[in-house]
Amino acid sequence: MVLASLIAWRYLHKNIALKQIHIIHCNHNIRTQSKQEEKFIKTFFSACSVHVPPPRRKSANTDEKFLRERRYACFQKVLNQENINLLFLGHHLEDRIETTLLNSMR
């Protein structure tokens, strides 16, 4: 949210149309608040181009590697469709802590 908001603010400051910002949200449908977050993102960034692939089925694979590959495939599809050549990835604090913990365990 912070990264996307800062980019949107910069576009507004430079008088560039927000529709040129493409927000990609992958709903893995794992946490109970996933649908609520998806709706919030669609509303909050409604002036931008928001891409939300269909949510993952709850019964589908929840393996970290599988979900990461699914996310990257979603990103690649939108980048190709919209002819985008620059991608910013935003993470939240828990992602960073989890990554650090996993890397230290290896």
Per residue in 61-73, pLDDT tens?
788 888 888 888 9
Name the maximum alpha-carbon separation found in the chain: 47
Q: What is the pTM of this model?
A: 0.75
Do 23 and 50 meet the contact criterion of CB atoms below 8 Å apart? yes
Predicted local confidence at residue 19, as pLDDT: 94
Predicted local confidence at residue 106, as pLDDT: 64
pLDDT in tens, 1-41: 888 999 999 999 999 999 999 999 988 888 888 889 999 99
90: confidence class by pLDDT, cuts 50, 70, 90: confident
Sign of CA dihedral 7, 29, 96, 39: positive
